[in-house]
């Protein structure tokens, strides 16, 4: 037993604090607020299927299961006989603790059978020395400690959290509320809906908007107006039936037809959804804002915070609980020091530092890099040859294969000869398969894995033609294998097979089998990818988009329109913007203007913001493919030196400045440092990498001039073997 105290109490007093008589009462008072109880509750809830997953075969991240368990425990604490809480108590008291032995030991300590000695030391004992780290660890790492530390309704004494305690509750600054509402209601610059479709979706979210707030009102078949007592609102026509049938707008006059759309929401739920788009409001304002105030709405202290909520203002106001929590986080974020936008030419420096270029290669750093790259779509050659080689100077193919297997990663085709690598749940976010695979009929068990020849034997096509169909199915994301071996084979053979030896119809089965064995196939165990069962509902789609946004935030640290649209597919800005707005209001990301020449708003994580403010010094020599996620290419930047975003183009940097551009696999070289610069040798590490991979570089021009007469041949000759003819220069690795 270890007790950490600030004062120096009497040791004899400490030994009498816990006795056999008060042991259970003390456990009842404190156990539910511990990380142990939270962890056991999460396990019990999982066994009871109360922590759900989107699909039965989809891994739920630990942080998400913890979050769900915390919310479940908070929501069910008011019930006096909730089974999972009772099971958690049973698990802790019977399975985890030996209460009989503890009671016996406490009794012996109380009676004097167990003696004790007080020792005062200047340094902690080996046992106590861990306390210092435990104190740090408590704040450094998240654990299973529930959001609430008070006993549940199984006990008669409940203590409200600080957010409901007016004496503990912080006050909001009016300017914080104004900025929050501008973003929550999408009136801030860059937040407004841009298209008619976005406006209609926004109208559905708002449920009812006072006509005075709908400044960009437009006539549309789905836009309806309600009038009641001289007040007017705008809503989506599909919501009319539910609003009227719930009694929320029972007496309102409606313009146009009322389509029959089933909506189970109650009047109170409609009212709370409307209030969720506002900050603190007075009772009179609420009565004006809503067509009617459902009975008991303003007395609901779980959904509404009540009191003097604004700084230097004693007016009693109501505020949606979740909005108030978001406003507190938003206010804290606003109070962070302001940052000065950097020129966009410093973007690669930030991204290279964030993504860990020039790291020491080991198992942990490999995992960290793959975590950042997961879900990134790039040509096969870029993934296999360039992305990791740019980050680790000692990288070899087997490092990726080993990590791929150990981390149970998957790969997925996303376009012709393009793949992405990640965990299964990541790949489902990247590519939604809507139709069954063209080759699905050949897979007897859609959940099993088969070899290439096992499927090829079931067709009447030649291997060459069938292989072409096979890879087309792969690039559509319909098939994938359990290793990178077939991808490497495909890269070497240009994803095509040579025609096998011909056999006559009269050839024996043994001869045909031998001919087939001599043909080149594709290794690996192949399986069908899962087809999306149905269109996700709006809430599921929002959560999926949050996960997609988190993927980009892991990769870049910050997200803007140009980065998201460059990723393309499900990562496009129009898909993620709503999720990012909600993440901002919850405090998960911060908005600002961090790089000039990029459009706003730009969203950044708190950790990346700290990294941004550090202004880390880059390594001397770094290089990357133009298709690397850290590359500034393909973002329509006003940076004339940048090459096109193609697999054959590369960039090299010296001390964070662009210093070498390689185009068309080395045919055109552009040095931005003079030929006599002493650091050119280190800069040519990129060319050494390309010469080893391509066997030879055929250089036609250097800085726009014929390569044969270039002054850069001398420094190139120090790190590469150079030869020339009457047309071009050839570079080989030494």
DSSP 376-428: --EEHHIIIIIITTTT-TT--HHHHHHHHHHTT-EEEEEETTEEEEE-HHHHH
Query: What is the model's pLDDT at position 550?
Result: 94
Q: Which run of H or E residues covers position 608?
A: helix 606-614
- For residue 588, give both structure tokens: 């998960």
Percent helix, percent strand, percent coil in the chain, to nearest 5? 45, 15, 45
DSSP string spanning 503-548? Answer: --TTS-HHHHHHHHHHS----S-EEEPPPP-SPPPHHHHHHHHHHH
Mean pLDDT of 230-235: 89
480/487 Cα distance (integer angstroms): 10
**pLDDT of 513 over the 70 cut:** no
Q: Domain boundary at 111, 134, 159, which? A: 159
Mean pLDDT of 290-303: 88
Q: What is the pLDDT of residues 650-676, one digit of tens each?
A: 999 999 999 999 999 999 999 999 999
- For residue 17, give both structure tokens: 């604090």
Helices 573-585, 538-556: axis angle to 10 degrees equals 90
Q: Which run of H or E residues covers position 690?
A: helix 685-694
Query: What is the model's pLDDT at position 149?
Result: 44
Q: Order of strands across the sheet with 558-559?
A: 558-559, 602-604, 590-592
Query: What is the model's pLDDT at position 277?
Result: 92
Instruction: Enumerate residues 6+ apart whose C-beta is below 8 A from 506.
Output: none
Q: Domain boundary at 528, 554, 581, which? A: 528
**pLDDT of 574 over the 70 cut:** yes
Q: Domain boundary at 473, 499, 528, which? A: 528
Q: What is the pLDDT of residues 380-426, one digit of tens each?
A: 999 999 999 999 988 999 999 999 998 889 999 999 999 999 998 88
Could you tell me the maximum CA-CA distance found in the chain, to the nearest angstrom? 103
My answer on whether 152 and 183 are in the same domain is no
CB atoms within 10 A of CB 90: 12
Cα–Cα nearest to 411, from 467, 479, 492: 479
My answer on whether 152 and 179 are in the same domain is no
Which value, to the nearest 10 degrees, does the dihedral of the CA atoms of residues 308, 310, 315, 316 take? -40
Cα–Cα nearest to 422, from 467, 372, 384: 372
Burial class of residue 554 (count of CB atoms within 10 Å of its CB; 0-12, 13-18, 19+): middle
Q: What is the pLDDT of residues 39-51, one digit of tens each?
A: 888 888 888 888 7
Share of the chain above pLDDT 70, in %: 86
Three-state secondary-structure class, residue 227: strand
The radius of gyration of the chain's CA atoms, rounded to the nearest angstrom, is 32
Place of tokens 């750093």: 365
719 found inside a domain: yes
Q: What is the pLDDT of residues 324-350, one digit of tens each?
A: 888 887 787 776 657 889 999 999 999
Mean pLDDT of 565-586: 88
Q: Give the side-chain half-sphere CA count within 13 A for 299.
A: 3
486/142 Cα distance (integer angstroms): 40
My answer on whether 214 and 316 are in the same domain is yes
638 found inside a domain: no
Q: Which run of H or E residues covers position 614?
A: helix 606-614
Number of domains in the chain: 4
Domain that holds residue 523: 365-384+400-528
My answer on whether 294 and 378 are in the same domain is no
My answer on whether 92 and 195 are in the same domain is no
Q: What is the pLDDT of residues 416-462, one digit of tens each?
A: 999 999 998 888 888 777 788 889 999 999 889 999 999 999 988 88
Query: What is the model's pLDDT at position 499?
Result: 64
Query: What is the model's pLDDT at position 263?
Result: 87
- For residue 505, give both structure tokens: 């119809």
Instruction: Enumerate residues 6+ apart whose C-beta is below 8 A from 150.
Output: 32, 33, 77, 158, 159, 161
7/80 Cα distance (integer angstroms): 38
pTM: 0.63
Phi and psi, residue 141, nearest 5°? -125, 140
Three-state secondary-structure class, residue 612: helix
Three-state secondary-structure class, residue 670: strand
Q: Which run of H or E residues covers position 654?
A: strand 650-654
* DSSP for residue 139: H
705/166 Cα distance (integer angstroms): 75
* DSSP for residue 54: S
Phi and psi, residue 320, nearest 5°? -55, 130
Instruction: Give CA angle at 203 (199, 204), nearest 5°.
Output: 120
My answer on whether 142 and 185 are in the same domain is no
475 found inside a domain: yes
Mean pLDDT of 514-537: 73
426/278 Cα distance (integer angstroms): 34
Phi and psi, residue 479, nearest 5°? -130, 150
CB-based contact 686:652 (threshold 8 Å) = yes
472/481 Cα distance (integer angstroms): 14
Instruction: Enumerate residues 6+ apart whose C-beta is below 8 A from 727.
Output: 700, 708
Q: Report the chain's terminal Cα–Cα distance, integer Å.
A: 65
When the pLDDT of each residue in the chain is averaged and rounded to a whole number, the result is 84
- Counts for the chain of helices (H) and strands (E), in that order: 29, 23
Which of the four pLDDT bands, split at 50, 70 and 90, describes residue 502? low
Q: What is the pLDDT of residues 146-205, one digit of tens each?
A: 544 444 443 333 223 445 556 557 788 999 899 888 888 888 888 888 888 888 888 888
Instruction: Enumerate residues 6+ apart whose C-beta is below 8 A from 213.
Output: 185
| Peptide bond before residue 601 is cis, with ω within 30 degrees of 0 | yes
My answer on whether 330 and 374 are in the same domain is no
567 found inside a domain: no
My answer on whether 320 and 373 are in the same domain is no
**pLDDT of 728 over the 70 cut:** yes
My answer on whether 255 and 303 are in the same domain is yes
CB atoms within 10 A of CB 466: 20
Three-state secondary-structure class, residue 245: helix
384/487 Cα distance (integer angstroms): 9
My answer on whether 83 and 45 are in the same domain is yes
Query: What is the model's pLDDT at position 198?
Result: 84
640 found inside a domain: no
518/348 Cα distance (integer angstroms): 48
My answer on whether 261 and 373 are in the same domain is no
Cα–Cα nearest to 561, from 515, 520, 595, 609: 595
Length of the chain: 734
288 found inside a domain: yes
- For residue 566, give both structure tokens: 């460059």
Q: Order of strands across the sheet with 729-733?
A: 697-699, 729-733, 720-724
355 found inside a domain: no
577 found inside a domain: no
**pLDDT of 145 over the 50 cut:** no
My answer on whether 236 and 117 are in the same domain is no
């Amino acid at each position: 037993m270890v007790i950490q105290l600030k004062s120096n109490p009497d040791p004899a007093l400490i030994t009498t604090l816990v006795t056999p008589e008060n042991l259970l009462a003390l456990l009842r008072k404190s156990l539910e607020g511990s990380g142990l109880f939270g962890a056991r509750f999460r396990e019990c809830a999982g066994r009871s299927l109360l922590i759900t997953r989107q699909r039965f075969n989809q891994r739920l991240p630990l942080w998400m299961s913890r979050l769900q368990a915390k919310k479940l425990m908070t929501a069910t604490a008011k019930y006096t006989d909730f089974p999972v809480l009772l099971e958690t108590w049973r698990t802790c008291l019977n399975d985890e603790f030996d209460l009989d032995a503890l009671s016996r030991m406490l009794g012996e300590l109380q009676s004097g059978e167990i003696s004790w000695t007080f020792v005062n030391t200047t340094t902690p004992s080996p046992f106590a020395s861990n306390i210092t780290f435990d104190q740090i660890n408590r704040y450094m790492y998240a654990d299973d400690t529930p959001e609430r530390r008070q006993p549940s309704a199984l006990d008669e004494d409940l203590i409200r959290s600080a957010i409901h305690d007016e004496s503990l509750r912080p006050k909001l600054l009016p300017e914080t509320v104004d900025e929050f509402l501008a973003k929550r209601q999408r009136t801030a610059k860059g937040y407004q809906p841009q298209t008619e479709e976005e406006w209609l979706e926004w109208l559905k979210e708002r449920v009812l908007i006072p006509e005075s707030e709908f400044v960009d009102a437009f006539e549309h078949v789905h836009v309806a107006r309600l009038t009641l007592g001289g007040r007017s609102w705008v809503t989506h026509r599909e919501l009319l039936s539910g609003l009227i049938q719930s009694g929320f707008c029972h007496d309102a006059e409606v313009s146009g037809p009322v389509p029959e759309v089933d909506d189970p929401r109650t009047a109170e739920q409609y009212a709370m959804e409307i209030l969720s788009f506002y900050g603190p409001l007075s009772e009179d304002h609420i009565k004006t804002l809503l067509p009617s105030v459902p009975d008991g709405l303003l007395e609901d202290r779980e959904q509404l915070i009540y009191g003097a909520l604004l700084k230097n203002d004693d007016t009693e106001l109501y505020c949606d609980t979740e909005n108030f929590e978001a406003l507190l986080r938003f206010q804290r974020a606003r109070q962070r020091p302001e940052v000065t936008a950097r020129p966009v030419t410093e973007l690669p420096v930030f991204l290279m530092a964030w993504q860990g270029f020039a790291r020491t290669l080991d198992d942990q750093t490999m995992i960290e890099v793959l975590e950042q790259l997961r879900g990134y779509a790039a040509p096969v050659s870029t993934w296999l040859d360039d992305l990791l080689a740019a980050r680790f100077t000692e990288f070899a193919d087997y490092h990726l294969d080993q990590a791929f297997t150990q981390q149970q990663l998957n790969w997925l085709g996303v376009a012709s000869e393009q793949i992405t690598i990640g965990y299964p749940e990541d790949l489902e976010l990247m590519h939604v398969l809507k139709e069954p695979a063209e080759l699905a009929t050949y897979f007897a068990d859609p959940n099993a894995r088969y070899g290439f020849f096992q499927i090829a034997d079931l067709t009447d096509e030649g291997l060459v033609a069938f292989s072409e169909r096979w890879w087309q199915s792969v690039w559509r994301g319909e098939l994938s294998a359990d290793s990178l071996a077939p991808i490497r084979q495909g890269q070497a053979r240009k994803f095509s097979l040579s025609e096998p030896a011909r056999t006559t119809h009269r050839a024996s089965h043994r001869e045909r089998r031998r001919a087939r064995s001599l043909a080149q196939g594709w290794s690996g165990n192949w399986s069908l990818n899962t087809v999306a069962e149905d269109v996700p509902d709006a809430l599921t789609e929002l959560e999926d988009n949050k996960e997609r946004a988190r993927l980009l935030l892991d990769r870049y640290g910050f997200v803007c329109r140009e980065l998201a649209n460059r990723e393309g597919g499900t990562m496009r800005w129009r898909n993620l913007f709503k999720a990012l707005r909600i993440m901002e209001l919850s405090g998960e990301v911060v908005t600002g203007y961090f790089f000039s020449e990029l459009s706003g708003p730009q969203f950044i994580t708190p950790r990346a913001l700290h990294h941004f403010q550090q202004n880390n010094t880059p390594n001397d020599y770094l290089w990357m493919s133009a298709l690397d996620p850290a590359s500034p290419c393909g973002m329509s930047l006003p940076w004339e030196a940048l090459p096109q975003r193609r697999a054959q183009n590369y960039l090299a940097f010296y001390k964070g400045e662009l210093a070498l551009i390689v185009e068309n696999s080395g045919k055109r070289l552009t040095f931005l440092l003079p030929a006599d610069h002493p650091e050119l040798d280190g800069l040519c590490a990129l060319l050494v990498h390309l010469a080893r991979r391509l066997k030879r570089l055929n250089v036609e021009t250097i800085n726009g001039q014929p390569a044969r007469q270039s002054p850069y041949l001398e420094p190139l000759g120090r790190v590469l073997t150079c030869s020339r003819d009457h047309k071009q220069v050839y570079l080989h690795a030494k």
